[in-house]
Amino acid sequence: MKLIIGLGNPEKKYDNTRHNIGFAVLDALGDEQGIKWQHKGKFKAEVAELSDKSALLVKPTTYYNLVGESVRALADFYKVAPEDILVVHDELALPFGSIRTREKGSDAGNNGMKSIIQHVGPTVRRIRIGTSNEHSEYMDAAAFVLGNFTPEEKTKLPETIKNAHRLIDGFLSDKFELTTV
């Protein structure tokens, strides 16, 4: 069993924000596979099982900065090693639409990753999706990541999500690719 964790905030008002790109990637994957989400209170998450039962898709219902609680509860229950956990999250240090993968490392200033590292360690794998644009350097970081995508970004989002799905497929087949897309 593997865990694929999408980072985001649970309230509707955060839908379509940069900080919720992890949720958007998993929602699209769930739609593609025709799977349904279930609320699992003991895991503080919305969970969906892939049709081949190889992995759980997870959208923590804690807020972004506390996602480690949910990841730890799931990892303990399903006895999943940190190396079998993939986290999909936004990355302010990368240009919009670019993707960089990592096998382990620091939180790089991402509070969701900081929480996960505190709870399960630094060896979780990551798909970091760039959200930076020409406005990000002039705005407060929190306000920027909690902002909506621009119309131009929305047109490019499907291709970014498709690229993330390709990387998830590699993770599921034990061929996780270290790359920048």
Instruction: Identify the residue whose tokens are 């919305």.
Output: 46
Give phi and psi for 64, each to the nearest 5: -45, -45
Is 165 one of the catalytic residues? no
| Cβ pair 80, 127 in contact under 8 A | no
In angstroms, the CA 16 to CA 18 distance is 7
Among 19, 39, 89, 135, the active-site one is 19
In angstroms, the CA 175 to CA 72 distance is 24
In angstroms, the CA 162 to CA 176 distance is 16
Q: Is 137 exposed, middle or buried (0-12, 13-18, 19+ CB in 10 A)?
A: exposed
Catalytic residue positions, numbered: 19
